[in-house]
Structure 1
Amino acid sequence: MTRRDKLLNLVERDIQQDRDDYLALRGLMQRLYGHLLERDSPRIEQANRDILALVDALGERAARRAKVLAAFGHAPGMAGMDSLFAHYPGVRGERLGQAWQQLGQLAAQCKQLNERNGKLLAMHNDILTQLLGANEGAQLYTQQAY
């Protein structure tokens, strides 16, 4: 097997692994929302650790893809990936292009879920700030009418 073939196989495996990881990430983000609603700190912490591990793995594969694109002389981004898919024979390249599009849709869904979770966290923070701020003006040592 040539170096070229090895790199193409690597990209194909990485895209499949990214698909699986984005599906897992989507599930984790949905579960995290429930944990945030319940204010279940241990489960929130575990979900965050699991999410971070997936995001790190996704980032490593993205960096590896960028190196493969450079090795083939393609620019990073969608145009570069489209050019790379042309190196695959027949329907293999078409299937990989479809998997890449699905991967983009999964990434967009995860981004939306992350934004939803962030809004919930911001709302929690606002409520806590208001609750703590409401007592700010109260003076602890004032004359009390008994």
Structure 2
Amino acid sequence: MMTKREMLQVLVREIRQDVDDYQQLRSLLRHQRELLQRRDHQGLEQHNPRQNALCVKLARRAKRRSEILRTLGVSADQTGMDRLLAALAPQTQKPLKSLWSQLGNLIRDCQTENEVNGKMLAAQKGSIDRLMKQDAGNSSDYGRPL
């Protein structure tokens, strides 16, 4: 069983790791958009597993962070984190608050990047669907079906 101090140390360390990993995820999402723009199917097949693995790692740490917050007696949400921060000594509170804020900004950046990529994929799918319907309606362009 970890002490509260050890739990706090794990929390800080993993938030730092999340900041690094969300910076990497933001870069991966931007690279994914470039691959989508170029319609680089092979590049996407190589890229997406790396991006998915990073997301799994981030989700695991978020789950552990929630468990730690609950064990420390606060809710596993922004309100709980705010309560924890308020209870810390200033020399611990200030750097953790800064890290937490940085992490929140990176998460929002990644969500925005992901939404842009999703819209791009939806637009490409729409174009393909329209082409497929158009081709199905113009089967006489290539002669009579066999």
- Provide the TM-score with structure 2 as the length reference: 0.90
Indicate if the aligned counterparts of 1:29 and 1:113 stay in contact, CA closer than 8 A.
yes
Q: 1:8 & 1:87 partners in 2: Cα distance? A: 12
Report the TM-score when normalising by structure 1.
0.90
Instruction: State the partner residue of 2:66.
Output: 66
- Which structure is higher in helix share? 2
1:87 Cα deviation (Å)?
4.5
2-structure distance, mates of 1:47, 1:84: 38
- Specify every segment of 5 or more residues in structure 1 that has no aligned partner in the other structure, as ranges: none
1:3 partner amino acid: T
The one-letter code sitting in structure 1 at the alignment partner of 2:30 is Q
**Corresponding residue for 1:41?**
41
CA positional deviation for 1:139: 3.8
Report sequence identity in percent: 33
Cα distance in 2, alignment partners of residues 54 and 81 from structure 1 = 24
CA distance in 2 between counterparts of 1:46 and 1:6 reads: 38
Distance 1:92 1:124 in 2: 48
- How many residues align? The count is 142
Q: Is the 8 A contact 1:8 1:88 kept in 2?
A: no
Aligned residue number for residue 111 of structure 2: 111
Root-mean-square deviation (CA, aligned residues, Å) is: 1.7
Deviations 1:25-64 (A, max 9, x none): 0000000000011111121122211111111111111111
Give ranges in structure 2 of 5+ residues lacking alignment: none
Deviation of the 1:86 alpha carbon: 3.6
Q: Which amino acid aligns with 1:78?
A: Q
Matched, 1:29 2:61: no
